[in-house]
Structure 1
């Protein structure tokens, strides 16, 4: 069975607003290296629309720093699934799923392949409750935002999810990567 991993940038006060962070080369390289183990990204619509077409344009036009271009090229090369009832079309590497994200992720998890990366705050609690997330990769940035979406903003878990810290990386910027495994 494939491993499902969740990764997210987060502020010290628990917010996940991508516009509030300025990832440096080390953080970009960290996420780029994580994608070496991934062959499918499972998006919610909001996160998909934040990531694409922005990173696709960076990859195509080479319109960023060297580390941003490497990240963009790696990201756009991976097959994607986006869960959405309102999205009408996507690029050729992305398939739209209209309902039941837990059922679809379980189906994908049972297929052979590398890791599946989940990139969605809106579905996170549902996927945790369905026992589908195996790893959490959080990069905590040294900033307090005080507004926006939190990691589990829209839902409550029915029970605690106990995790085991597997690894930490301290970046020169003061950001910290925390890699947790489900117990």
Structure 2
């Protein structure tokens, strides 16, 4: 069975916001490394539209830093599934499949297929996917900032029961961020 990994940037107070900081080269290399054994990205519509076409354009144009270009190349090469009731894709996008409903059932089906790791990148689906027991590992990159507002990683009351995790790795970056890698117990 494939491993499902959830990766997200968060503030010290648990908010997820892509504008909280500029990652810099060291952190971009970390993100590229987290995708070494990933062969499928599983997104919600909002995260998909945030990440694409931006990184696809960087991959084509090589318009970022060396670290951003490496990330963009790796990220854009991976097949992806997007859960959305409204998103329509260009006909030339052969790497993306849209799922219209029931993300937990779809992810379970994908998890049972042969292949590499599946990377989940969706805060909106996280409570449902945790509740279904589908997330095997968490990579949380904690930024040294307190946001005080925004979207929480997990809204209060969104889980029916607690999820015990085991910390297996910690990486401290020069920019003050800390990457925490947890496995589900």
TM range (shorter): over 0.9
Deviation readout 1:71-110 (Å, 9 max, x if unpaired): 0110000000000001011522100000110000000000
The CA distance in 2 between the partners of 1:30 and 1:179, in whole Å, is 12
How many residue pairs end up in the alignment? 183
Partner of residue 67, structure 2:
67
Partner of residue 165, structure 1:
167
4+ aligned runs moved over 4 Å, structure 1: none
TM-score (norm 1): 0.97
Partner of residue 54, structure 2:
54
Partner of residue 124, structure 1:
126
Partner of residue 115, structure 1:
117
The CA distance in 2 between the partners of 1:72 and 1:2, in whole Å, is 24
TM-score (norm 2): 0.96
CA root-mean-square deviation: 1.0
The CA distance in 2 between the partners of 1:42 and 1:105, in whole Å, is 8
Mapping of residues 1-183 of structure 1, within 5 Å: 1-90=1-90, 91-153=93-155, 156-183=158-185
5+ residue gaps, structure 2, are: none
Contact 1:125 1:155 (C-alpha < 8 Å) held by counterparts: no
